[in-house]
Structure 1
């Protein structure tokens, strides 16, 4: 069923109206289906009217179609919406216009990005979000709920920490949106944080090993969102993030360093993304159910060190539960004061431990 724009419903005697934008994408569909199963009744939205109609009819939900390249269309599409869960990537292109619409409409903004520059842009709107009285909380999925909460736990329990290392090992493969974001990252190089400042470094700048089940996993530095968000959450000045990879994969990534200028060219980016669209479909239900993710967190300072390891469900399964858990909190409780929040600031460091299948499995 279509959904005609309504007047805002911020009063206590009206239920909060919320929207999933990008509902017909890989992750958006997973979230929409689970939201419907839970009886949460989101408005489904996106750019493809035909796909929206089919999905909305299947789930028995309302829908709206509007693009993000016209500010007036975004504002009209958000009329009467109190909260948006934005799932349409790559967020480097879609986050800013959606956020502007949310600021204009006084609509709370959540997304599932993992992109450093998107976090930085959202954080830069903190004062505007305060003035509008809206929460701006990017990264409410696998990027970066588990790692951000792990970082915040370690800082809470070890306030002396001056350096933080995070690492993860995923399973099950990428969605098309995540793969496209990775393509963008090839031309941008790596990032770390030193003395509180973001620093550009080469791809796979450092390598090291992390131990799981008695075996060492080789890993390389990547520009994961926590390079930005963990500093906001903890204030720890030196931060590196790693992902596990085979020595062959690390060598291949390092060979791409010399192609940086070529990989940044728009024509090359478009060609690579078209290849992603043709070849990447995302993990199926069985793969999501059969795979897990593992996280390591390590803090150091004053001659001391603390290591903690955490296991979670597959990243896409966790994204569904983490994002909908945060939406449910808004539906059930008064919204926090307006402004920018990391997941651990919004929900607390232990929020991730409330999610199904998440557990601390290493030293505490």
Structure 2
């Protein structure tokens, strides 16, 4: 683009949205703050003199009107299973780049299905521009470059600090859907806590279980590796509990049950404090293997997941608003920013 365009943070008054606003202001940026709650948005915007647009996502005409003059939307209001489709549709209609911070597999698939439309409009559609899935996607791409013949990929992470309300609600939705893995190129449903294994961290063995993380979708797009599993470090008791829940799978997906569980999240989950975020980080593991038995392994250390979400997403915003405009279409982080993008983010290092 010849000059920076107006851009919007939708869900600016949410847990992660507020962190993005704070860092954007620190960098001298002036996003439009948007969401459904006008009073909260005004309170957030007033100290910085930022513009505000309050609107819901369930009125297509009003949504399109609210994006008038906007060149990019950073969508931070989850669960994205409910919010992605209307916002993405509006971005496609008005010609605004679409970014979000989802980790939801079905949302990645929906965005990918709009690839041809995004190309026609000349806009970038890039879901997963935060901790979901920038570090893991970039690590997957690095491993593919190191072992081009790889046909199996294992990714894993251990994160500290606890979830935000939005992340916790997304996890509740996942209970009824079970696990996911990429098997022989196909996105496949597997049981909750399908597999367990250990990874080494600082000389200690760390227990982990498979989870339906976004890379089951995105890493395949980025690398073409047909077999992909993603693990999360948890206490062994967590895997045992999830395996007991397998029998309740259909019940956990019922609307009333989902509503009750999400209400509990709303009451009890506040997200990690600034002090907790500063004291907790993440470790990300990656392993790629080929049919001949060759293997490459890498390990990343990153700041707290919410901290890296902020810096990763804003780095992509800057690329799209201030750099040379890339061709339109669906992108993963590594396909737009390069496999080593994550290594340039504050506090990230190869271990």
- For residues 353 and 162 of structure 1, what CA distance do their matches in structure 2 show? 24
Whether 1:48 and 2:37 are equivalent positions in the alignment is yes
Q: 2:123 aligns with which of 98, 123, 134?
A: 134
1:232-282 residue CA offsets vs partner (Å, 9 max, x unmatched)? 000000000000111111101111111111100000101100100000000
Whether 1:247 and 2:230 are equivalent positions in the alignment is no
Offset of residue 334 of structure 1: 2.3
2:339 maps to 349
**Corresponding pairs, count:** 350
1:176 maps to 165
Whether 1:118 and 2:95 are equivalent positions in the alignment is no
Q: Secondary structure at the match of 2:70?
A: coil
Q: Secondary structure at the match of 1:82?
A: strand
Whether 1:331 and 2:296 are equivalent positions in the alignment is no
- For residues 252 and 330 of structure 1, what CA distance do their matches in structure 2 show? 43
Q: Secondary structure at the match of 2:228?
A: strand
Whether 1:319 and 2:272 are equivalent positions in the alignment is no
TM norm structure 1: 0.95
Q: 1:106 aligns with which of 85, 90, 95?
A: 95
- For residues 216 and 307 of structure 1, what CA distance do their matches in structure 2 show? 16
Q: Following superposition, which runs of at least 4 residues in structure 1 exceed 6 angstroms of deviation? A: none
Whether 1:208 and 2:197 are equivalent positions in the alignment is yes
1:291 maps to 280
Most deviating of 170-179 and 299-308 = 299-308
Residue 33 of structure 1 contacts residue 59 of structure 1 at CA under 8 Å; is this kept in 2?
Answer: no
Unaligned runs of 5+ in 1: 1-9
Unaligned runs of 5+ in 2: none
Offset of residue 296 of structure 1: 0.4
1:7 maps to none
1:309-348 residue CA offsets vs partner (Å, 9 max, x unmatched)? 1100000000000001111112221221000000000100
1:157-206 residue CA offsets vs partner (Å, 9 max, x unmatched)? 11011000000000000000000000000000000001110000000000
1:104-131 residue CA offsets vs partner (Å, 9 max, x unmatched)? 0000000000000000000000000001
- Within a 5 Å distance, the mapping from 1:1-364 to structure 2 comes to 12=2, 14-301=3-290, 302-361=292-351
- For residues 48 and 148 of structure 2, what CA distance do their matches in structure 1 show? 47
Residue 102 of structure 1 contacts residue 109 of structure 1 at CA under 8 Å; is this kept in 2?
Answer: yes
- For residues 75 and 299 of structure 1, what CA distance do their matches in structure 2 show? 43
Offset of residue 58 of structure 1: 2.5
Offset of residue 33 of structure 1: 1.0
Q: Secondary structure at the match of 1:39?
A: coil
Q: Secondary structure at the match of 2:4?
A: coil
- For residues 338 and 346 of structure 2, what CA distance do their matches in structure 1 show? 17
- For residues 123 and 38 of structure 1, what CA distance do their matches in structure 2 show? 31
1:3 maps to none
